[in-house]
Amino acid sequence: MEDVRKCETCGRLDVLYVYALPGIAMSVGNCAECLCQDAYPLWIAEANTEATGGLEHAAEWWRESLTFKDGKYVTIAEALSVS
């Protein structure tokens, strides 16, 4: 029997893969789809962006990295932009 848990990025109940996040000294448990998308949990995207001083100070690769918000994958810049 497989161990099904809540994905830390999209919230789907699924088998999780635990791995270290690129550019961040921590690991998460993501489903296969979030793993393939290289998606960061939104709370990590928010905290790491704040730690860098905001989107304007973040590296381009970080701004273009993916997270999951409102049911879809979006860039961190899109997720954190104030409209």
Give tens-digit pLDDT for 23-56.
Answer: 788 899 999 999 999 999 999 999 999 999 999 9
User: Does 4 score more than 70 pLDDT?
Assistant: yes
What percent of the chain shows pLDDT beyond 90?
83
Q: Are 73 and 65 spatial neighbours (Cβ–Cβ below 8 Å)? A: no
Structural domain that includes position 24: 4-80
Structure tokens at 20: 């270290």
The total number of structural domains in the chain stands at 1
What's the average model confidence in pLDDT over 10-17?
Answer: 96
